[in-house]
Amino acid sequence: MKLYAPEGKFLWDFWIYEENGVYHLFHLEAPLNEDSHSRHRNSSVGYAVSKDLINWEYKGTVLKASDLEDDWDSVSIWTGCTIKKMILIICFIHQDVKGI
């Protein structure tokens, strides 16, 4: 059985929606070279698409914490969800925020 896994990355917490026969998968990811605890501080959101839920095409990282240490969103990205309402696709992301 072939499983979806972006090369060189941990994968966890995913959210998915379907539109016009294409499945859109968002997931948390982190470099495999990180230990299992520190990956949560180095997470980003990856994106993949599929027409059959078996064969996936990884599209890359689509969202990550800021690289600027003093930015409010420089800590890490956590899980999210996707809601489709009429013609809008809305993604909500939980992010650790510095100073709160």
Alpha-carbon Rg of the chain, whole angstroms?
14
pLDDT 10s digits, 30-85: 888 767 677 767 788 899 999 999 999 999 998 887 777 777 666 677 777 777 77
* pLDDT at site 59: 95
Q: Up-side HSE of residue 20: CA atoms within 13 Å toward CB?
A: 2
- Using the predicted structure, report yes or no on whether residue 17 has a pLDDT greater than 90: no
* pLDDT at site 96: 55
Burial class (CB in 10 A: 0-12, 13-18, 19+), 58: middle
- Cα gap 10→36, rounded to integer Å: 9
- Cα gap 34→13, rounded to integer Å: 17
Q: How confident is the model at residue 21 (pLDDT cuts 50, 70, 90)?
A: very high
* pLDDT at site 65: 75
* pLDDT at site 75: 67
Prediction pTM value: 0.77
